[in-house]
Structure 1
Amino acid sequence: MTTASKVKCPKCVKNAAAITCEGCSSKLCRGCYNDHRQQLSKELDQFVYEHDMLKQQLETPNENEPHHLLKQIDEWKKDSINKINQLADQCQADVNQLLDKNKDQLINKFRKITNEARKGQKDDDYDERDLKMWMTQLKELKDELIKQSNICIAVDKQQSAWIKRIKVQEASPQQGNAEDSK
């Protein structure tokens, strides 16, 4: 009588392989099969732990740390506002300088009219024509003081985009990785 040779368990190589694992198709003995199931149970526990951690991250709003894209937009905003503030400060200084220059010119014209009128009064050398001319000159000075017509604000059309415009768009996986590396 011939005995059929039994397939040995590939893990312990002692016992006969009696149980087949449906997942990996290994034929194992009862002890090694139990160890194998215990290892699978540990891996499932690890999966559940990682799953729960990810779930917590997805469900919990992270108010302490804003998303890096929001930080990037805030940086752009601050940079743009700083540039605008610098330009506005420079333009205000330029306007003040021009206003002072105009005021000095008006003061000089005013002094000239004052000197002519006082000289005419002192010398008693004036008539209706002189009074009319001085009144006209005085009215013109008032109008110039109110109007300041030689100052205006113009848009520099030769200037390239001083503040870069940004936009938000979905990126392909390759674009996202390329942007992260910059």
Structure 2
Amino acid sequence: MAATSKAQCAKCEKNSGILTCDGCLVKFCRRCFNDHRQDLSKELDNVVYEHDMVKQQLETPNENDCHNLFKQIDKWKKDSIDKINQLADQCRTDVVKLLDKNKDRLMDRFLKITNRVRKGTDDEDYDERDLSKWINDLKELKDELIESSNFRVEEDKQQSSWIQKITVHEDFRDQLKAKDGNL
């Protein structure tokens, strides 16, 4: 009879490999096979733990501050508000400059009215028409001081992309994977 050579245990290399693991197709002796099964049992415990963690996340209601998509939306909102605040500050600065410039122009008109009133008073050379004209001029000046008619604030309808609109989309590839159960 011919002697048959037995395969050695892949783990300890001392004993004969009499049992083969169907998963990894490695031959083990009885003792190493039992150790291998214990290692697999520990790995199964890890799988069960990860499974339970994913299940817990799936069962927990979505919270607005934890998901990355919500963080992206919040960042867009903050950046957009910052842009609006910067533009509003710039517009306020521009309005102050225009008001100052307008006030200087109005002051010149006021001084001219003042000179005419003083001259009329000093010369005692005025009548009802002059008084009416001076009152009208002062009223117009006062109205322009309160509400300037030579400038205004308006929206630029042409620049719609100043604040980028965001939208939420579902990736088509992920939909296919979910249908196939590969996700």
TM-score category by the smaller chain?
A: 0.5 to 0.7
Instruction: Report the counterpart of residue 124 of structure 2 in structure 1.
Output: 124
Bigger shift: residues 123-132 or 87-96: 123-132
Alignment of 1:136-175 (within 5 A): 136-173=136-173
Distance in 1 (alpha carbons) for counterparts of 2:158 and 2:62: 45
Could you say if the C-alpha distance between residues 40 and 136 of structure 1 is closer, same or farther in structure 2, counting changes exceeding 3 Å? closer
Instruction: Report the counterpart of residue 92 of structure 2 in structure 1.
Output: 92
Could you say if the C-alpha distance between residues 140 and 172 of structure 1 is closer, same or farther in structure 2, counting changes exceeding 3 Å? same
Distance in 2 (alpha carbons) for counterparts of 1:54 and 1:30: 36
Instruction: Report the counterpart of residue 179 of structure 2 in structure 1.
Output: none
Could you say if the C-alpha distance between residues 117 and 59 of structure 1 is closer, same or farther in structure 2, counting changes exceeding 3 Å? same
Could you say if the C-alpha distance between residues 106 and 55 of structure 1 is closer, same or farther in structure 2, counting changes exceeding 3 Å? same
Structure with more relative contact order (C-alpha pairs < 8 Å, separation 6 or more): 1
Bigger shift: residues 116-125 or 154-163: 154-163
Could you say what the CA RMSD is over the residues aligned between the two structures, in angstroms?
A: 3.7
Q: Give the secondary structure class of the aligned counterpart of 1:152.
A: coil
- Please tell me whether the aligned partners of residues 120 and 126 of structure 2 are also in contact (alpha carbons under 8 angstroms): yes
- Please tell me whether the aligned partners of residues 9 and 29 of structure 1 are also in contact (alpha carbons under 8 angstroms): no
Q: Deviations over 1:33-68 (max 9, x none)?
A: 7566545434433322332343444456798x7222
Q: Give the letter for the 2:78 counterpart.
A: K
Runs of 4+, deviation exceeding 4 Å? 8-15, 19-40, 56-63
Distance in 2 (alpha carbons) for counterparts of 1:88 and 1:73: 22
Instruction: Give the % identical residues.
Output: 63
Alignment of 1:32-181 (within 5 A): 37-38=37-38, 40-58=40-58, 66-173=66-173
Distance in 1 (alpha carbons) for counterparts of 2:22 and 2:38: 15
Q: Deviations over 1:132-169 (max 9, x none)?
A: 22222222222322331222111223335111111112
Distance in 2 (alpha carbons) for counterparts of 1:161 and 1:72: 19
Distance in 1 (alpha carbons) for counterparts of 2:26 and 2:89: 78
Distance in 1 (alpha carbons) for counterparts of 2:165 and 2:80: 10
- Please tell me whether the aligned partners of residues 15 and 29 of structure 2 are also in contact (alpha carbons under 8 angstroms): no
Distance in 2 (alpha carbons) for counterparts of 1:43 and 1:66: 30
Q: Any stretches of 5+ residues in structure 2 without a counterpart?
A: 1-5, 176-183
Distance in 2 (alpha carbons) for counterparts of 1:74 and 1:173: 26
Q: Deviations over 1:71-97 (max 9, x none)?
A: 222221121111100100011111111
Instruction: Report the counterpart of residue 178 of structure 2 in structure 1.
Output: none
Q: Give the letter for the 2:119 counterpart.
A: K
